[in-house]
Amino acid sequence: MNDPVDVLIIGGGASGAAVAWNLAETRMRIVCLEQGDWPQSSDYPSNGRNWESRQSEDFAISPNRRASSADYPVNDDASPIKVANFNGVGGGTVLYAGHFPRFHPSDFRVRSLDGVADDWPIDYRTLEPFYALNDRMMGIAGLAGDPAYPDKEAVMPPLPLGKTGETFGQAMNELGWHWWPCDAAINSREYEGRAPCINLGHCGHGCAQGAKSSTDITYWQEALRNRVEVRTRCRVSRIETNEDRMATGAWYFDANGEEVFQPAEIVVMACNGIGTPRILLNSASERFPDGLANSSGLVGRNLMFHPYALVRGRFDKTLDGFRGSRVFMWSMEFYETDPARGYVRGYCYQFTRGFGPVMQAINGMADGLVPWGEGHHDAYRRLFDRQAGMVSICEDLPEEINTVTLDTSLRDGNGIPAPKITYRIGENTQRMLDHSVARGTEILLKAGAQDIVTRSPLSYAGWHLLGTARMGTDPKRSVVNEWGRSHDVKNLFIVDGSVFVTSGGVNPTSTIQAIALYVSDQIKARLHDLFD
């Protein structure tokens, strides 16, 4: 058995890193167990001539395709949207695009404003200082003054618009629709010892330049300096409890496959919206027969993904192609509810540049724009460096039928049951997807695009994993309270995307991390009566 620690964090991704850093100043003994390794920037695809083929190998976004020793399989056969993640120090931030919008104030009050789902027990103002702190810790590029948000400071200048941004900016102006350079977790200049972006165009498969703010090179570096210990290749199987219904620590498989117990005073779950319910459900015991922290029956329910639609067109001028950050500009024009649209809540657009040579060919053929045979080369050259578009990120409302459960036969390399996803797209979300495809097409036409292709929903886009251990004040309707502590187990906290009450219509990581900082602040402030 290991020596006891004060705080055991399970999962070293976006939220686990933020909590570790924030708690480090307390001088408590903190250990993080992470099933994957430290990523090495020299391994990232953009180091090699074969960069595009390497994107679909060790740094592929699907855990089922990577199937490395750090990964657990996910049975997502019963879902039109397939799970994407990264299992290693940094978690999903190693592969994320770095689109870094905050939630909007209305996102926390959807029941009051629109009569759907539930209000959050916290609001934008509560999280505002933590958003700002997180922006500084991660290093966020952006431009102050976005009319879609309350005032917020920019940590560093925005990323270049490029030819693509200019083209879309002009079109949006003609339509009279909102757009703005996006907040991006990518250095536009040197920041805290990390180099600026050099437009590798590679954000989605690990940034060799270290300009993208993944938590292995931001929070974790600071946390390590403050003596937090990260134990890699350690996969937690279940949380142990005692007769007082308190967590006593966690069982995990170490790098040699030995099952070891780590005793702890406080356990913090940060395994994401799929990994966390998986471990809680796998921690079922005589005391907690339905899984740990699950007296509400809501652990693993209300899974939200953010269904995406894609709209892309061909221009008769050269744009940026694959060069440049993946993210550079957003539109919040259709974010807030407008009953005339036939659905409630809304979505944001994340504009996208073009493809690398290989992906251009693959997508061109898949979209029917690049034929086999004779016409291949001419058609390819008409597209290459001339395509651009956008994706819509649609708010997914919580529905209890969308679940993470334990698969009865599929297991990971340590024999731990794999998660099984059962998910369908709700009617409101479907109408929103359709709306976003129609408006996206309008934007592209206005910008002068031809050969417009659309995909809805994007199937390999299950990268926002939310809602499966929701936050709330009522123990019957939520898993953790308004400051992240389990209603049932008083020394168990959840800080990842599982605690989301609703999904918002923006990428979630800045909100996940703001919540992680907020919950860890609550832990610090309440240390003397934390378990009361």
Ligand X SMILES: Cc1cc2nc3c(=O)[nH]c(=O)nc-3n(C[C@H](O)[C@H](O)[C@H](O)COP(=O)(O)OP(=O)(O)OC[C@H]3O[C@@H](n4cnc5c(N)ncnc54)[C@H](O)[C@@H]3O)c2cc1C
Nearer to other proteins, 162 or 291 (CB): 162
What is the C-alpha to C-alpha distance for residues 91 and 86, in angstroms, rounded to an integer?
5
Nearer to other proteins, 56 or 414 (CB): 56
Q: Which helix (H) or strand (E) holds 10?
A: strand 5-10
336 binds other proteins (CB under 8 A): yes
- Residue 368 burial by Cβ neighbours in a 10 Å radius (0-12, 13-18, 19+): exposed
165 binds other proteins (CB under 8 A): yes
Taking CB under 8 A as the criterion, the residue among 2, 56, 126, 232 binding other proteins is 56
43 binds other proteins (CB under 8 A): yes
For residue 10, the partner it binds in other proteins, ligand X, none, with Cβ less than 5 to 8 A by kind, is: ligand X
Please enumerate in sequence order all residues whose Cβ is within 8 A of that of 362, keeping only pairs 6 or more positions apart, or say none. none
Q: With CB under 8 A as the rule, give the number of residues binding other proteins.
A: 84
- Across the beta sheet with 347-352, the strand order is 180-181, 329-331, 347-352, 387-394, 308-314, 450-455
- Spell out, one character per residue from 199 to 238, where the chain touches other proteins: x when CB under 8 A holds, - when not: xxxx-----xx-----------------------------
Taking CB under 8 A as the criterion, the residue among 2, 29, 80, 105 binding other proteins is 105
For residue 48, the partner it binds in ligand X, other proteins, none, with Cβ less than 5 to 8 A by kind, is: other proteins
Taking CB under 8 A as the criterion, the residue among 183, 216, 265, 320 binding other proteins is 320
Taken as a whole, the chain contains a residue count of: 532
Among 157-165, 217-225, 253-261, 487-495, which window interacts with other proteins (CB under 8 A)?
Answer: 157-165
Neighbours of 157 (CB within 10 A): 12
Give residue number: closest CB to ligand X. 13
What is the C-alpha to C-alpha distance for residues 9 and 29, in angstroms, rounded to an integer?
11
User: Shortest Cβ distance from residue 308 to other proteins (Å)?
Assistant: 19
Residue 45's identity, in one-letter code, is P
User: Quick one: how far is CA 79 from the chain centroid?
Assistant: 18
Q: Is 224 helix (H, G, I), strand (E, B) or coil?
A: helix
Residue appearing with tokens 């499966």: 468
Among 101-109, 293-301, 423-431, 489-497, which window interacts with other proteins (CB under 8 A)?
Answer: 101-109
**DSSP line for 252-312:** EE-TTS-EEEEEEEEEEE-SHHHHHHHHHHHT--SSSTT-TT-TTS-TT-S-B---EEEEE
The binding site for ligand X (CB under 6 A) comprises: 10-16, 33-36, 61, 84-88, 91-93, 95-99, 204, 235-236, 270-272, 275, 279, 463-464, 496-497, 507-509, 512
User: Shortest Cβ distance from residue 526 to ligand X (Å)?
Assistant: 22
Nearer to ligand X, 82 or 485 (CB): 82
Nearer to ligand X, 333 or 412 (CB): 412
